[in-house]
Amino acid sequence: MIAVDWGTSNFRAYRVAAGGGVVDVRTAPLGILAVAPGRFASVLDEHVADWLADGAGPVVMCGMVGSRQGWVEVPYVPSPAGLAEIAAGAQRLRVNAATSGLILPGVCCRDAAGVLDVMRGEEIQILGALDAGGDGVYCLPGTHTKFAMVAGQQIVSFRTFMTGELFDVLCRHSILAKTMDRLDGTDDAAFADGVRRARAGGALLHDLFGVRTRALFGELPSAAAASYLSGLLIGHELRDAAPAGHVTVLASERLAALYARALALAGVEYTLPDPVRALTRGCAAILALLREGGH
């Protein structure tokens, strides 16, 4: 099987052996917004032609590739949604003459006030990590961080937080940009200060201005300001998401380290399963369900 996580900004393909192990990886900064309509099959072929020639398919794809701007629009499946609901909503297509493909649907959920939320891609990681995380809270940090509640092996509800994107626009386009001279790396003490400040219970809109005043008065070095802001935002997110007891975090190495630090400061237990393993396991489980169902 080939599992593909095709998002807004990146293309990531994993060649999965029969036993479930990832034997090869191809990534490219070719998110769906960089692919012209009608060109998805060609772009896929350009990156994994040799795998396809080897008969490594089928290709199971998730993420924004199933959105309106993607290869084929695959409607969101409403929560609660588990592997069976995702499998039932999957869309078949031909990758080439010899290889079949599947595009998996995302999940949508409506909160008590009727406001919708959506995910595409994260649901597969969550369902693929159930052996590690079981029922409970899942956190998938990123540009748009997801917090999902899983019960009975289904995604029951979830909320998206615009944390990563807010960090990015504030660092690049707000008055806070003037207080920062580096955005890479992490100043651990400043990050922890930000988390603690957020946990003190103040208002996010006010705490953001504090980045500027602390810098203005020489209490926050410009090399540490971005880390402090990151801690503030993640701290507020965790305070509002209020995961109790235990959280399963599915994140890249860099974000996993930040969330581990912030959760530890919040006194919340966490586990950090491998997000790639979760993705490929999720794709494989859905493929197996469809085969069992005789499809």
Per-residue exposure over 49-65, b if at least 16 CB sit within 10 Å of its own CB, e if not: eebbeeebbbbbbbbbb
**Residue 65: strand, helix, or coil:** helix
Per rule CB under 8 A, count of chain residues that contact its own copies: 40
Question: How far apart, in whole angstroms, are the C-alpha atoms of residue 264 and residue 20?
Answer: 32
Question: How far apart, in whole angstroms, are the C-alpha atoms of residue 118 and residue 91?
Answer: 18
Instruction: Choose, by CB under 8 A, the member of 236, 243, 277, 287 that binds its own copies.
Output: 236
Residue 14 or 138: which CB sits closer to its own copies? 138
Continuous segment of H or E residues that includes residue 70:
none
Give the tokens for residue 141.
């940090």
Give the shortest CB-199-to-its own copies separation in angstroms: 11
> Which residues, 6 or more positions from 278, have their beta carbon under 8 angstroms from its beta carbon?
124, 125, 126, 128, 129, 132, 250
Q: Of the listed pieces 21-29, 89-97, 208-216, 282-290, which binds its own copies according to CB under 8 A?
A: 208-216
What residues between 48 and 67 interact with its own copies by CB under 8 A? Answer: none
- Tokens 């489980």 identify what position? 285
What residues between 151 and 190 interact with its own copies by CB under 8 A? Answer: 159-163, 165-166, 169-170, 172-175
Residue 122 or 283: which CB sits closer to its own copies? 122
What residues between 101 and 140 interact with its own copies by CB under 8 A? Answer: 111, 113, 115-118
Instruction: Choose, by CB under 8 A, the member of 36, 97, 205, 244 that binds its own copies.
Output: 205
Instruction: Choose, by CB under 8 A, the member of 29, 206, 267, 294 that binds its own copies.
Output: 206
Check residue 199 for interaction with its own copies (CB under 8 A).
no
Question: How far apart, in whole angstroms, are the C-alpha atoms of residue 228 and residue 197?
Answer: 9
> Which residues, 6 or more positions from 158, have their beta carbon under 8 angstroms from its beta carbon?
79, 107, 109, 117, 119, 146, 147, 148, 149
Give the shortest CB-226-to-its own copies separation in angstroms: 16
Instruction: Choose, by CB under 8 A, the member of 15, 47, 120, 197 that binds its own copies.
Output: 197
Check residue 216 for interaction with its own copies (CB under 8 A).
yes
Give the shortest CB-19-to-its own copies separation in angstroms: 38
Give the tokens for residue 26.
């191809």
Contact 120, 67 (CB under 8 A): yes
Q: Report the Cα–Cα distance between both ends of the chain, in Å, rounded.
A: 16
Contact set with its own copies (CB under 8 A): 111, 113, 115-118, 144, 159-163, 165-166, 169-170, 172-175, 197, 200, 202-206, 208-210, 213-214, 216-217, 219, 233, 236-237, 240-241
